[in-house]
Amino acid sequence: MDVEIIQTKDGSHTLYSRQFDEIYHSRNGAVAESQHIFVRNGLGACPGNVINVFEVGFGTGLNALLCWEYAESKNIRINYHSIELYPVSDKLIGQINYPDLVGHKEKFQQLHAAKWNETVTLSENFTLHKINGSVLEMLFPTSSINVIFFDAFSPEKQSELWTIEVFTKMYDILALGGILVTYCSKSYVRKNMQQAGFQIEKLPGPHGKRDMVRARKNL
């Protein structure tokens, strides 16, 4: 994919995709957004010492890096699954400034060096399974995911990913009580989630954005 690095307001980089005319994170801060939506309101809302994560859109690997660090700091186990249709080139990954800002350069490199389509144990607390493919064609025969990071491009740019059908698929892979978190709180997106069976909660968004959504598969 034709992408270039741009800087967000907290100093962290993100990518701009010319193909989709879309950026990978909030312009108000990529690291701040990831910490708020996916780590604090996603992982932070999951009980237990073993958390199974499923991410839509591995992208730069920022969410994965912050989650790995979270697993080490809390001494819990995270099994991280992520699907990505357009892997980012090694050249660009080498220029992204996340290791300068949040540290853990070696971890960042390991996340990207990990083979696709197999489970890799990166530490006692963290396994990674990157799937190279489309979430639209994904076959994922499990209902053991505790939290989904729904981090696709926006519905304006990829409406086919924000449908009742896709949210039903997401609902099916969640364990009972599992959650889905996303930055998008548009009303038709929330309606599609509800149609798929989710209970919706609107939460304050990261700095500069009004809302985010946490959707739950009730017990």
Ligand X SMILES: C[S@@+](CC[C@H](N)C(=O)[O-])C[C@H]1O[C@@H](n2cnc3c(N)ncnc32)[C@H](O)[C@@H]1O
CB atoms inside a 10 Å sphere around CB 165: 13
The interface region with ligand X, picked from 77-85, 91-99, 140-148, 164-172 by CB under 6 A, is 77-85
Contact 105, 136 (CB under 8 A): no
Triad 165, 78, 168: Cα angle to 5°: 10
Q: Which of residues 46-65 bind ligand X (CB under 6 A)?
A: 56-57, 59-60, 62-63
Crossing angle of helices 187-195 and 164-173, in 10° steps, is: 50
Contacts of residue 166, defined as CB under 8 A and 6 or more positions apart, other chains included, come to: 135, 136, 160
Q: Compare residues 97 and 134 and give the one whose CB is closer to ligand X.
A: 134
Q: How far is the CB of 219 from ligand X (least distance, A)?
A: 28
Q: Which of residues 13-32 bind ligand X (CB under 6 A)?
A: 24
Pattern 117-156, ligand X, x by CB under 6 A = -----------------xxx--------------xxx---
**13-17, strands of its sheet edge to edge:** 3-7, 13-17, 22-23
How many chain residues touch ligand X (CB under 6 A)? 18
Q: Compare residues 24 and 198 and give the one whose CB is closer to ligand X.
A: 24
State the DSSP code for 89.
P
Q: How far is the CB of 91 from ligand X (least distance, A)?
A: 16
Q: Indicate the SS3 state at residue 170.
A: helix
Query: Is 85 an interacting residue with respect to ligand X (CB under 6 A)?
Result: yes
CB atoms inside a 10 Å sphere around CB 6: 14
Q: Compare residues 59 and 178 and give the one whose CB is closer to ligand X.
A: 59
Q: Compare residues 19 and 199 and give the one whose CB is closer to ligand X.
A: 19
Contact residues for ligand X (CB under 6 A)?
Answer: 24, 56-57, 59-60, 62-63, 83-86, 134-136, 151-153, 158
